[in-house]
Amino acid sequence: MKAILFSYSYRNLWTRRLTTALTACGMALVVFVFAAVLMLAAGLKKTLVETGSYDNVVVIRKGSQTEVQSGIDRDQARIIETQPEVAISRNGQPFLAKEMVVLIELPKRGTKKLSNVVIRGIGRFSFDLRPQARLVEGRMPRQGSAEVSAGLSVAKRFSGAGIGERLRFGMREWTVVGIFDAGATAYNSEIWGDADQLMQAFRRPVYSSVLFRLRDSSDFQSFKERIESDPRLTVEAKRETRYYLDQSEVMAKFLHILGLTLTIIFSIGAMIGAMITMYSAVANRTNEIGTLRALGFSRASILFAFLLEAMFLGLVGGLAGLFFASFMQLITISTVNWQTFSELAFSFTLTGSIVYQSILFSIVMGFVGGVLPAIRASRMNIVEALRAS
Amino acid sequence: MHITKLLAKNAFRHKLRTGLTILGITVAILAFGLLRTVVNAWYAGAEGSSASRLVTRNAVSLIFSLPLAYMDRIRQVPGVATVSYANWFGGVYIEEKNFFANFAIDKAAYFDLYPEFILPAAQKKAFLSDRKGCVAGRKLAERFGWKVGDNIVLKGTIFPGQWEFVLRAIYTGQRKTTDETQFFFHWDYLNETLKKTSPLRADQVGFYLIGVKNPDQAADVAAAVDNLFKNSLAETLTETEKAFQLSFVAMSDAIIAVIQIVSFIIIIIIMAVMANTMAMTARERMTEYAVMKTLGFGGWHIAGLIFGESLLIAGIGCAFGIALTFPAAKWFSDTMGAFLPVFNVEKKTLYLDFVAAVIVGVVAAAFPTWRAVNTRIAEGLRRIG
Amino acid sequence: MVVIRDLNKSYTRGTLEIRVLQDISLDINEGEFLAFMGPSGSGKSTLLNLVAGIDQADSGTITISGVDITALTETELARWRALNVGFIFQFYNLIPVLTAFENVELPLLLTELSRKDRYEHVATALNIVNLSDRTDHYPSELSGGQQQRVAIARALVTDPEILVADEPTGDLDRASAEDVLGLMTHLNSEFGKTIIMVTHDPKAAERAHMVRHLEKGFLDAYNQTPR
């Protein structure tokens, strides 16, 4: 029984190829946008969540939302360094880095357009504190030198940021001695150099933040409470993962609302397309419907056959849309994070969950678009239907 | 019988199908118009800028400040009419999601440079004489229900602490495109506090605003200012206000591009839907068209009927879509107002809506018309339904 | 086997009420070949539809082999039709996207038969109508006469008690019409199928045992032409 039902539905779609194709195209585009929006959100989340380790703590000035706005002077930094919760590295030193962050503008390769880049003054342990980063070329800059290393994204897109090349900022020249890859994290859009050298160059006598590894992950709460109530300090502490998540809250929210709005609009479009096609299919096969009912097929079976056809239509459109959406993974979007002013590059990420959601979405669109026409088909009066030409 | 009446009767033969198609076009035009309005809102700042205003900032990046001492030297550059300065304060009102732009400004000349901000004389005087006074835009005041005389507290982010102000004036915008969501207070108040709490940060300005005597000289004045401070500790970058605003827009240009692409995809989708409808309609009426041809109607007549019906449907959908764009824009502006302070539906958008609908109507009717015109009469008569 | 008592049916066209059948009472015996004739609008097709269970009367009863079909619900009626009635329409009404074989198989999908059994039934039915060599063809690839024969095979395949035919030769040329009528006569005489037919065609009516006339909703009291 099922076999003929499927062939019946499928073959009817095939017979009216032009209409089927047009409707499926419409639905494919809808699913494409739906999937692309989800992929964008997933890509953004991936970039931000993976930036940061759960057991690292970031300390910035109280009230500042980002490192760029924050300032921690040498005395305060020293106090933080002596806290018991800070892990100790192999050579007996605190596993901690005092960092300075500034934003500068550099010209992009090819266009000469200026764009923001984060310069991070790092300490000895900065690289080790960030397991997501690995050197792909060269080495880390030496302490006390005018050397820098660049994140993969910066090296690719900004002039003078490739290995061996020179950059000019802070009234000095800096040589790029290494390139590091930090995966989908924000670090790939940064340039790292010795903190003291950079502080001198930019005449900023204070650090922006302090980063360290917790000796024990559960120590965080006690550290936070003590450090934030210490009268000598005006700081706040966050787990590194939380810190980066907060930084993109506004952006993520905006993209979320935009995505939602677009999805709703497109869904309506898809349903209307499916409805028009299915109503027409029912109208054209009125006679056929009458015959099937006369032969003894129940109302339910007619309803089911047309619903199936509509869902097939949705599925075809959905698979096509998903196929094209998967090519979006080749595209990287770079935009400026509105909260930190630093450049954010992320790509479209296709996950299994998105594939599943998109297919489901397309079938549901087909269903919703086809349900009213299918009901109309099933409720036809047999005699009138047979009379139709 | 009037041609429009015939077209309408034909179009509404299939009430449900035509109704759905119109609904589809309405939604598409609405979405298209809304997205275009969002993109326009992004550029609103740049659109509203004046050709005779320049912005001077630290050449390294926006986060570095300029010394107050530059003020006198800038004033002496030939072509400069007025100089003022301000700092982006970045204060938070109660919670972060209540975001609005707030600045510490030079009280003497700032409002001279911005004639489009209209302050009642009495209020302006009150602001100038109260060191802790502040000015808010009309839309901003409405959003939080502020009235003149209210105490307002901002939590500093760049400049930490709780900062208290008294609302002394509310400004209105001269044009519809003027931003009425900004907040200003005295730079002197900021500076005096800094001298006490973190003296190293005092006497620093975020950016300078320059009013030029003659807009044609803007480029020359800008170059002259930057030349003044070349090779000094804080080199400057001077550009027109428009260029300055556009650099902010450029930060999100990837997103803007995506939105623009999506708005065109919507139109393509609805074209497919509409083409489908017209194809079905024409197929059903094959016999009718054959009969009309036997009566003496030519190919052009048939084409006219099909195109006419298609355009009529598209037109009705477009009209509804345009009508709905206004309330939709209002809703969007209320929800997202913080990020895009100037949110107006422009005339250009409406023209584009109209053009889009026409294109959809024409493209949808093209293939069915070609088929109807080229089918021989005998073949057309043979088809039964 | 078919007992019709006091059947009434009306339609409303706008504000007009048209009485299509008025107090029809009739008996049809098993194995009978009955033809209904009459002018357009006389109600003959309506009467056929009611007996076949695809329409519902305003009042009256129709009892077929002891089952009062006027008392059945929509769902029960569908089931009853599948097993007890075979349809032959003027315009064949084959499903265009199914092959001849699949069209004939269609009614069997409503039964509990296995695939093997279904195939046997279909083969038998197609054999009876002499169409075993065209089973993979789609309706668009068959002539009018061939399509009607497929339709007859479909009507036979569930071995129903009654065959109803609404203008079976209306769309056929003379030769094909003779062909189809011969087949129907064969089904009646050899297989004992009860056939109720509506027709305009006098040549078709000649084949029936009995011809009844309908005029303005009334069945002729006299003027029966037994053969």
Q: Where is the domain boundary, B234, B266, B291? A: B234
Instruction: Give me the pLDDT at residue C226, please.
Output: 57
> Is the per-residue pLDDT at B384 higher than 60?
no
Task: pLDDT band for A1, please (50, 70, 90 cuts).
Answer: low
Would you call B156 and A105 a contact, using CB atoms and an 8 Å cutoff?
no
Instruction: Give the whole-angstrom CA distance, residue A33 versus residue C223.
Output: 73
Tally of domains within chain B: 2
pLDDT tens for C135-194 read 899 998 999 889 999 999 999 998 898 999 988 988 888 888 898 999 999 999 988 899
Residues B98 and B155 in one domain: yes
Mean residue pLDDT of chain C comes to: 87
Residue B245 lies in a domain: no
pLDDT-above-70 percentage for chain A:
98
Residue B278 lies in a domain: yes
Q: Which residues of A touch C89 (CB under 8 A)?
A: 291, 386
Which chain C residue lies closest to A1 (C-alpha atoms)?
Answer: C109
Would the CA dihedral through C139, C145, C148, C153 be positive or negative? negative
For the segment C18-33, the average pLDDT, to the nearest whole number, is: 89
CB of A237 closer than 8 Å to CB of A223: yes
- Nearest CB among B16, B62, B254 relative to A334 is that of B254
Q: How far is C79 from chain A (nearest CA, A)?
A: 6
Pairing state of beta strands A172-181 and A147-151? parallel
Residues B172 and B76 in one domain: yes
- Torsions phi, psi for A119 (to 5 deg): -105, 125
Mutate to test the interface with A, among C106, C114, C117, C167 (most CBs of A within 10 A): C106
Residue B54 lies in a domain: no
Residues B290 and B148 in one domain: no
Pairing state of beta strands B183-186 and A235-239? unpaired
Q: Which residue has the higher pLDDT, C25 or A116?
A: C25
Count of alpha carbons within 13 Å of C109, Cβ hemisphere only?
18
pLDDT tens for C62-114 read 999 989 998 888 888 888 888 888 988 888 888 888 889 988 988 888 888 88
Name the residue among C190, C212, C193, C161 with its Cα closest to residue C33.
C193
Residues B222 and B257 in one domain: no
Residue B51 lies in a domain: no
Instruction: Give the whole-angstrom CA distance, residue A254 versus residue A249.
Output: 9
Pairing state of beta strands C16-28 and C2-13? antiparallel
> Is the per-residue pLDDT at A224 higher than 50?
yes
Instruction: Give the whole-angstrom CA distance, residue C162 versus residue C81.
Output: 10
Residue B147 lies in a domain: yes
Q: Domains in chain C, ordered, with CATH?
A: 2-219 (3.40.50.300)
CB of A96 closer than 8 Å to CB of A277: no
CB of B38 closer than 8 Å to CB of B331: no
**What's the farthest any 2 CA atoms get from each other in chain A?**
94
Q: Which residues lie closer than 8 Å to A315 by C-beta, 6 or more apart?
A: A359, A362, A363, A366
> Is the per-residue pLDDT at A321 higher than 50?
yes
Tell whether A379 is within 8 A of chain C (Cβ): no
Tell whether A3 is within 8 A of chain C (Cβ): no
pLDDT tens for A115-132 read 888 999 999 899 999 988
Instruction: Give me the pLDDT at residue A239, please.
Output: 92
Would you call A69 and B265 a contact, using CB atoms and an 8 Å cutoff?
no
pLDDT tens for A159-213 read 888 888 888 887 789 999 999 998 777 788 899 999 999 999 888 889 999 999 9
The amino acid occupying position A65 is Q
Residues B186 and B332 in one domain: no
Tell whether A332 is within 8 A of chain B (Cβ): no
pLDDT tens for B268-323 read 888 888 888 888 888 888 877 877 777 777 778 888 888 998 999 999 999 999 99
Instruction: Give me the pLDDT at residue A104, please.
Output: 87
Instruction: Give me the pLDDT at residue B275, please.
Output: 85
Range(s) of the domain holding residue B202: 60-234
Tell whether A304 is within 8 A of chain B (Cβ): no
Residue B55 lies in a domain: no
Q: Which residue has the higher pLDDT, B286 or A306?
A: A306
Instruction: Mark which residues 31-60 of A lie under 8 Å from C by CB.
Output: none
Tell whether A384 is within 8 A of chain C (Cβ): no
Residues B166 and B270 in one domain: no
Task: pLDDT band for B355, please (50, 70, 90 cuts).
Answer: very high
Q: How far is C211 from chain A (nearest CA, A)?
A: 24
Residues B323 and B355 in one domain: yes
The amino acid occupying position C82 is A
Residue B53 lies in a domain: no
Would you call C106 and A295 a contact, using CB atoms and an 8 Å cutoff?
yes
Task: pLDDT band for B385, please (50, 70, 90 cuts).
Answer: very low
Cβ-based burial of B298 (10 A; exposed 0-12, middle 13-18, buried ≥19)? exposed
Mean residue pLDDT of chain A comes to: 87
* Predicted TM-score (pTM) of this structure: 0.75
